[in-house]
Structure 1
């Protein structure tokens, strides 16, 4: 049996809760837009139920621990192909070994989930330093980026503290999602801009000052482009002011 869900974390938790409650074993778990499902396979759509998702999350925290709950969430956010079945097998082992789950480092499913979760956290950590905000003409700070993992919530929680009461919008252009902060609260929703943002009169001056500073602190004799690309891959350069 193949189970199809809406692509959200709550949707996946709903599927997992139903599977474990009914003691069913899926052949696959796919997102609604996925083309993975076999044309002749029996596909069961699963409606998202926040109550079921919350119940499973609470059970995981109580019986497996907060570390397991965090690994499950961050591995899901990695957007790695096939991560849903890896998470199913990870939890299936968890119900057997309980709080020992994340100590089974040699188990292939545990290792897969840990790698995916670490990938998400590593990228979130990188973008906390690489995200570039630009002031629009109405005073909003706008920061577009194109992450591999779905790290918008990680960054929103960080910058809500980091930037105080400034209003900002972080735009995940890969997924057409945005995190908007009004100075007190932030929320995530679909975002597709019809026109490019208009920036304030001072923004170009600040960008030029930043480029000048960046180039002046560089030591030409110690330039090592290969090493630079190793620590800051070119895929992150698209929205860097100093690289444009």
Structure 2
């Protein structure tokens, strides 16, 4: 089993003001939805392979714009990294113990488990230290108690992912946070943006709850039994 202290949403939302982070994910939700709609609006849906490919490339461009716009709206820094060799750049967001990049997921048929489509070498390198997040663990990994409790910010790799909806291409089937295995072949954890926002809502509400007053009960004083009359 993974180490009990390695709860992904706890790790994601540490070291960042939860209210600002909530605003970021709300903005990201809006901008990612707009990215799919803008791609279809620019290149209308058609059963032509070249049009589908062009729309997919454009949607990926609009997804990058969505991340950068959401960051600018909420004062969350979005960096830029380059592939090696430097053929193209991609956005990176460091939040809590994760460094996030963009990715795509897909389902082979309706109801099938989602799979990660993005398998680039830079993503595999980013996720190379994700083994402690494996919910199943492995016989060959160190015992859970041996996992260091100090995890640097941005140490783990994650993806902001979107799934294309063939039935209604203007609206993605899924937008969320994806934590893959080291080799990208498995999914350790995934959360929709709605799940993350609910988690943050609850975290903020919990922090604002007034501290419960400790009730000090007074012990009853026993009256002395009057001495018998002589």
Q: TM-score, normalised by structure 1?
A: 0.23
Which of the two has greater strand per residue? 2
Higher-RCO chain (CA-CA 8 Å, sequence separation at least 6) = 2
Question: Which is richer in helix?
Answer: 1
Larger gyration radius, structure 1 or structure 2: 2
